[in-house]
Structure 1
Amino acid sequence: MARKSTIKLLLINESDNEGERLISLFRNAGRVARAQRASSAEDLHSLLEQENWDLLIANDKHPEIAVEQCLEHLKKQQSDIPCLIIRDSNADAALEAGASDVVSSDDDQRLIFAAFRELRHLETYRELYATKEKLSDAEERSEMLMSKSQDAIAYLSDGMLISSNPLFCQRFGYDDPDDLDCAPIIDLIDAGDQESFKNLLKTQISNGEGSTDFNFTGINQAGEGFSAAMRLNNAVFDEEPCIQLTIKEQGAESNSSSGGNPDIDPATGLYSYQYFLSQLETANQQATAGTQVSTLLYLGLDKFTSIRSRYGITHAYNILLDLAEFIQAKSDEANCLAHYCDDSFTLLMPNTGTEKAKQYALDLCQQISEHIVEVDGQSIQCTVSVGLVAIDGKSQQEANQLIDNAFSASEKLREDADNEGVGNGAELYIHVREKKALGDANGDDELDAFIQEAIEDERFTLTFQPVVSLRGTSGDHYEVRTTMTSDEGEALGPNQFLGNINFSSINTRLDRWILLEATKKLSAHTENGHDTRVIINLTNNALQDETLIPWLSVALKAGGIPPQALIFQFLEADITDFLKPAKTFAEAVKDLGCKISITNFGKVDEPFKALNHVGADYAKIASELTEALQSGGDTQEIKSMVTTINESSTQAIISGVENAAALAHLWQIGVDYIQGGYLAGQSGEMDYEFTDIA
């Protein structure tokens, strides 16, 4: 999007008057905006298919479309349109649903700032995509030119061949370019010329410009010599400097075909399969970039085997030619129609959504069924089964897989038909996402995808266990834990699944979900008059992510959460392993008004070093160190630890309290908070009845 181009706004609000007000805001800020208001959910769907929008602005006043519904629709379409939400409360819900930002209704200036920021981001994204497209096209053209060149060409790096075209291979007696990959070039040159070649190669590399010609005796695969002339040029291959070798074929003439268009199949007059595949790949790339949505159709002739058996191969082929001409006549010029295999055609409908394409397919099926084909003096009528696939960038699949999916839809139509083998209709392929297993995730991308899918499938849930004060401290406390539902439906505790979530780079997707869900629950709970604080367990990624604190600050303000109600808890081992970022994190959250807790405390060699380093407000002592409390054993060591914790202005928490005997000991050693099955287990809600047991 150019800097001064017209901004295309899609609006979800109460009236056209509000739309005019927003247009006026952009005009006053020096930009021209053209706005379109969606009147209904159906209208929204249609507008998203028709136009490539720059920005969506929504509020909660639309009579039919809720903000979260709109954002969910965009998420399903995997749209890249930035979304700004105008609302005065519950901003976290909108942010969680995918909003780019949330702006209060009385802050028009910030709305414009946010809009220009998102437009810059969108412009950068589109420029990046365009650059990648140009690079891809350039590389594709380069490869095509190399493969079709009348010269024998190869690329050389560190004395080894890294790529070669078919003519180069043939020149040296090889059938496949792969046979020469990583082969030493010196092996293809006669021993008498090798020293000269080495010197010329060094000269060419050092000069960096111009070219060097070299007459030599080549050695082919059979060990036979032949005279040849080679030109050396500096080049770049796969973004690495290299040397291009060109062997000119003597007497080479232009070897073009007999004037025919190579993109056209001479047998049917339709586009060739290779050309169709290239167009499909282009459409797929455009869909991934969000610049265009297309639809692929696979048209299979019903009962073709029976037709061929009855009328013979020649007549069956003539029937296909007749159908090819008929379908081509019913197809727009913008579409790309190809003969895919014996009994089928493929049709690409660019810039066309599935609803329009399916209606076209149904009409075409009707027209084909009424079309009469004359074969050897007989009149016959045929039917086709059409499978459709949306090319919308959502499935991230290659072109061949898209064709296979369209074929599957065509076959499903036939299987479900009342008349066996005769679909005579159209079926849309529905992509079913393959479930990923946590243990099978390979690399950060797959691991991140697993977490995203688990969140979307609601496999993560939060539980709350009360933490009770022994000192009569005001306010209720709950520890927040995350559980995950396994593929077998079993609820897994954090110790059972967090060990498999090991990113090589920083990723806080799960931490952010935990924070959003916990604060959402807390907000609803405090609205009922409860004075409650939550201890939220986070991973070490949260300590290292420098963007988390600014994001958290915005989320707290938007959700109206008092910062002192949040206590962020980390494993002692994570604090120790990431001591410097832990200190930075602790200082930042305390500036916000939040607090820090260390869990599993006391297991490292110098536990109080970490505690004092981050200035922890709470220390939850490791359960292994408190076992004596349950059995009535010696409690002197744990009492000493609690005393030192308190001297550090930190409050001690002991969990695993399972009986009254342990409770009696805890009174004596100065513990501040207790937790365990004796009081209450974990629950999906914050519903514990706190009483003063001090």
Structure 2
Amino acid sequence: MIPIDIIRLIVVEESANDAEMILNSLRKARFPIRPRHVEDDEDLQNALAEQEWDLLISVPQVGEFTVAQVCEMVNSSRQDIPVIVLMEKLEGQLMGALLSAGARHVIPRDNENCLQIIVGRELQELASRRQHKHLDQLYRESQRQNKILLETSRDAIAYVHDGMHVHANPSYLDMFGYKSMEVLEGLPVMDLVSLEDQSKFKDFMRDFMTHEAEGDRNIELRGIRADKRAFKLAMEVSQAIYASERCIQIIVRDQSQDEEKEKLQRQLKEANIRDHVTGLYNRTHFIALLEKALAKAMENGVRSVVLYIALDNVSVGSIDSVIKNIGKVINDLTETGVLARFGDNVFTILMLDKDVTFASELATKICKAVEATVTDLGTGESIITTCSIGIALVLASAATPQNVLSDAHTACLEASKRGGNTFDIYKAVLKATEQGGLKISDIAKMIETAIEESRLSLRYQPIVSLHGESQEIYEIFLRMVDSEGKPIPSGSLFSAAEQANLSIKLDKWVLQEAFKVLMKQEKSGHQTYLFIKLSDQAIKDENIPLFIRKLLKTTSLPGERLIFEINETIAITQVNLAKAFISTLNKMGCRTALEHFGTGLNSATTLKHIPVDYVKIHYSYAKGLSTNTDNQKAVQDIVKLAHEQDKITIAEAVEDANSLTVLWQCEVDFAQGHYIQEPSDEMSYEFTEEES
């Protein structure tokens, strides 16, 4: 049994064909692989930066790129990736060097059975290590949280073993008047009970120990403090574990001071969330409120907005007077938000369920009001100031309050650079990390605001018939740019969308635009068909078919104009969901295609279970097709398999004329690729020319 649902595998090999042979060995053993072919250190660096991997299989050396370098890069990535080396001929000295470099196994290349056994064993051990690490983290975190809760709890809590105190939290020590645990440790709990109630307490504890799961676990007594003063208390006892030993947990409440304490606690709580100069909320409380707003954005998609307001040119000597006065001015304008003093000369505002337009209007009012405010310093002097304001949305993809505040602060700095007394709205732009990769969090933020900022568009690539059929067919591709117009790589775009749960949002936008395009084509006399690839989440979301049905009804377009693509890997792992999704689409007249076909565990079985209309042959089979007899044979087998089941075949990624000829000879029905035409902003392909 494979312990990992999808095996993310890196293969370091000189050619894709050689890598494919390794992958085929694993597919025969029904390993659900999602592979990546790597040829050099740059390829490996990119792969390691993109995602987590489960396994790496390598030859001893590709060009100047060695296993030692592979192992060093894997170690630097801090990922737990077992490295398996395949050798043509096992040599003791070289095997020793490879194992010393960090390889987990060195095995003969031509022994499929050995490879399959080693891979299975490594995956089992990897899953065990991850499980152990996960449980260890959970245990450590629970221990840490328990300790924090115990030490900060206002409840007086102690642990007793054999009648003696082994630990007590600060509240317990304070209640009984002991300065430290050293004084209390080893002291019998009976010594903290008044003499007249000790007999009652003994009977209670005897009954508790005898009938552990029954009876009353609470008792009211008179306690004795260290200074011998008595007080009324309520005690709750329960079985517990402390320092890996079974013991009794005692929770004590001082009944004589409950009301007084509650009042004091309310006052302290209020004081703890207020700034002592302005009376406004303080930084800590603001971050807590922002965290709740962020949770709301993640759960319900409700956006809020943050204003970061920094006063311009305020001297240290006058800051308290100015801050107090300006705080009152801003507070009078902030009717629907929460205002806080965030720093020495910084205010922040959180407005729930508001947008950037609303925030911009408020920012304009604040800038004007602050500029018009004169602060009397009480020494016969007065001062005026202005402010710079940064605005940032509270987006689900921001992940933490610190990220939201960082965005707002960045926008504030931009406003300040322009001379202050103005505001700026944060817009994420495409930038690289120190390691050279794009920041997924920035891309996710751009996705959330891409629609209203018109940074999404579609591109179209023709799918042409190789046997003279007259149809205008395009596949559509989603394109997004940042606020500076720089395109975002599709891999990073979809990865960020999936991590931030924004895939369905992009799917719905693509569907709406696709229907608009088809309507436009219809009006201009073109009967156009569109291949649409939705996210992997779409087949799990029952709202997507409803959304498609609504669009079909609104536009009166026939469903056959849309062909929805499903990835073969997703179809294999989600068979029932994929079949239900296809069935629903078929009832609406839409058609479906299985894309990236030929890389699954058992493509023939998959095709029998997944009732699609089209089969899109994986792009790896088109590379070097004119000279690669193995690929030619594979394409012929796929076409035969598909045609036997009345499926239409499409070859992806055609890059040269010779490959196109081979595809025609293999009786592939349709083809697409850069050789025919790259994805374009317009549907401008002349299908009649291709047919002639």
TM-score interval for Structure 1 and Structure 2 normalised by the shorter chain: 0.5 to 0.7
Paired residue for 1:547? 543
Residue number among 672, 686, 690 corresponding to 2:669 in the alignment: 672
CA distance in 1, matches of 2:521, 2:597: 29
| Cα shift readout 1:157-179 (whole Å, capped 9, x = no counterpart) | 999x9x99964353478999xxx
Residue number among 213, 231, 234 corresponding to 1:231 in the alignment: 234
Paired residue for 2:220? 213
Residue number among 568, 573, 577 corresponding to 2:569 in the alignment: 573
Paired residue for 1:381? 382
- Contact 1:620-1:652 within 8 A present in 2 as well: yes
| SS of residue paired to 2:646 | coil
More divergent stretch after superposition (540-549 vs 224-233):
224-233
| Cα shift readout 1:289-330 (whole Å, capped 9, x = no counterpart) | 99999989777884454x7xxxxxxxx99xx49x96999799
CA distance in 1, matches of 2:634, 2:403: 65
Paired residue for 2:605? 609
CA distance in 1, matches of 2:454, 2:330: 46
Q: CA deviation at 1:648?
A: 0.7
Q: CA deviation at 1:668?
A: 4.0
The residue type equivalent to 1:246 in the other structure is V
CA distance in 1, matches of 2:659, 2:303: 65
Q: Which runs of 5+ in 2 are unaligned?
A: 1-150, 193-200, 239-247, 353-357
Residue number among 371, 374, 381 corresponding to 1:368 in the alignment: 374
Q: Compared with structure 1, are the counterparts of its residues 687 and 203 closer, same or farther at alpha carbon in structure 2 (3 Å cutoff)?
A: farther
Q: Compared with structure 1, are the counterparts of its residues 558 and 211 closer, same or farther at alpha carbon in structure 2 (3 Å cutoff)?
A: same
Residue number among 509, 516, 519 corresponding to 2:515 in the alignment: 519
Residue number among 166, 172, 176 corresponding to 1:168 in the alignment: 172
Give the percent of matched residue pairs that are identical in Structure 1 and Structure 2: 20
Residue number among 634, 646, 651 corresponding to 1:649 in the alignment: 646
| SS of residue paired to 2:565 | strand
Paired residue for 1:97? none
Q: Which runs of 5+ in 1 are unaligned?
A: 1-145, 236-241, 308-315, 418-422
- Contact 1:536-1:568 within 8 A present in 2 as well: yes
Paired residue for 1:598? 594
Q: CA deviation at 1:592?
A: 0.7
- Contact 2:408-2:426 within 8 A present in 1 as well: no
The residue type equivalent to 1:652 in the other structure is T
Paired residue for 1:693? 691
* TM-score for both structures, normalised by structure 2: 0.53
Paired residue for 1:24? none
Q: Compared with structure 1, are the counterparts of its residues 552 and 449 closer, same or farther at alpha carbon in structure 2 (3 Å cutoff)?
A: farther
| Cα shift readout 1:663-690 (whole Å, capped 9, x = no counterpart) | 4444444322223344333322221101
Residue number among 229, 243, 254 corresponding to 1:248 in the alignment: 254
| Cα shift readout 1:269-305 (whole Å, capped 9, x = no counterpart) | 9764668986998899899899999989777884454
How do residues 77-116 of structure 1 correspond to structure 2 at under 5 angstroms?
none
The residue type equivalent to 2:686 in the other structure is E
Paired residue for 1:466? 462
CA distance in 2, matches of 1:523, 1:157: 77
Q: Compared with structure 1, are the counterparts of its residues 158 and 468 closer, same or farther at alpha carbon in structure 2 (3 Å cutoff)?
A: farther
- Contact 1:483-1:491 within 8 A present in 2 as well: yes
Aligned: 1:529 with 2:525? yes
More divergent stretch after superposition (205-214 vs 660-669):
205-214
Q: CA deviation at 1:629?
A: 4.5
CA distance in 1, matches of 2:366, 2:496: 49
| SS of residue paired to 2:549 | helix
CA distance in 2, matches of 1:615, 1:577: 15
CA distance in 2, matches of 1:292, 1:482: 27
Q: CA deviation at 1:536?
A: 1.7
Paired residue for 2:627? 631
- Contact 1:478-1:535 within 8 A present in 2 as well: yes
Q: Compared with structure 1, are the counterparts of its residues 610 and 503 closer, same or farther at alpha carbon in structure 2 (3 Å cutoff)?
A: farther
The residue type equivalent to 1:526 in the other structure is E
The residue type equivalent to 2:235 in the other structure is L
- Contact 2:444-2:497 within 8 A present in 1 as well: no
Q: Compared with structure 1, are the counterparts of its residues 648 and 392 closer, same or farther at alpha carbon in structure 2 (3 Å cutoff)?
A: closer
Q: Compared with structure 1, are the counterparts of its residues 558 and 225 closer, same or farther at alpha carbon in structure 2 (3 Å cutoff)?
A: farther
| Cα shift readout 1:529-586 (whole Å, capped 9, x = no counterpart) | 1121112223322222222111111123224432111111122222112111111111
Q: Compared with structure 1, are the counterparts of its residues 448 and 154 closer, same or farther at alpha carbon in structure 2 (3 Å cutoff)?
A: farther
CA distance in 2, matches of 1:642, 1:261: 76
The residue type equivalent to 2:541 in the other structure is D
The residue type equivalent to 1:535 in the other structure is F
**Count of residue correspondences:** 498
The residue type equivalent to 2:609 in the other structure is H
CA distance in 1, matches of 2:303, 2:656: 64
The residue type equivalent to 2:374 in the other structure is I
| SS of residue paired to 2:566 | strand
Paired residue for 2:188? 190
CA distance in 1, matches of 2:497, 2:510: 15
How do residues 148-163 of structure 1 correspond to structure 2 at under 5 angstroms?
153-154=156-157
* TM-score for both structures, normalised by structure 1: 0.53
CA distance in 1, matches of 2:324, 2:422: 21
Q: CA deviation at 1:519?
A: 3.1
